[in-house]
Structure 1
Amino acid sequence: MSKPIYVLSGPNLNLLGQREPEIYGRDTLDDVRARCERTADARGLSVVFRQSNHEGELIDWVQEARTEGCALVLNPAGYGHTSVALLDALKTLAIPIVECHLSNPAAREDFRRHTYVSLAATGVVSGFGAASYELAVAAAAGLVGAA
């Protein structure tokens, strides 16, 4: 069996569907998980889907994906704008990294227009709401030859 795509979500994404639905949509994190699983399954892959509000835990999972995953989809949320430590962990990966955002950071506040994650990402998907995750999983699958 092939290695899974790791799909990691950062802080406050556990509140999807409740927190600022006008920006992030009404889908819950469980809805997003189901979308990712369907997208991966249609390509003969699986996902490891996790969310944490803790930077160190996300870094541990990035390091785990280094050997256990075939690709990484990461929505770093607020940590994308602040975490050099997360960038350093991402730079150890030799697998594709797809940065994912529900909203379009380029159309929001100035501080959201730069993410450290982009410096290590193979590509970025943003602005499509919960469908951003599906698109990111499909992109990751394509990058590993499972499109």
Structure 2
Amino acid sequence: MTRALVGQELVSFATAKLTVPHVYALTYLERGLSGSPAGAHPAGTAFTRLDEALFRYSVPAAYIGTPLTLKLQAFNIFGGAAQDLATCTPYTVTPVGSGRFGPVAETLAVGSGPDLGLTSQAATRSDDFGLASDPYPNFLDLGLASS
């Protein structure tokens, strides 16, 4: 399934088939994901495909709910030069979400020992690795699996 942001609505779909120029038919469309507002979208509404090509950044908890101003600087791989920052358009965004990993993931992230005790004893720590209502999850790299 492919996720996309249409205006402020988070959607998911399986396939997109071009029916006429600039009009697509989507299959298995799911709307209003993660509590986003589902509704009509007029022509010209911003559409962003949320796939592996999207820039991702885990925002520290202190920045959740704080307006941030960003400039997205282009880089020309052929000319080998970055866009002049003074010509970049500033965008203001306010990060949403929990801003934290959860107890088990945080323990692993700071390098604490992964020993969670004996399997014969009741668990003392648990983690759901994020809330279903959190539309901007954090990512945790657990490293390479050793053989």
User: What is the TM-score with the length of structure 2 in the denominator?
Assistant: 0.25
Bigger CA radius of gyration: 2
Structure number having the greater helix percentage: 1
User: What is the TM-score with the length of structure 1 in the denominator?
Assistant: 0.25
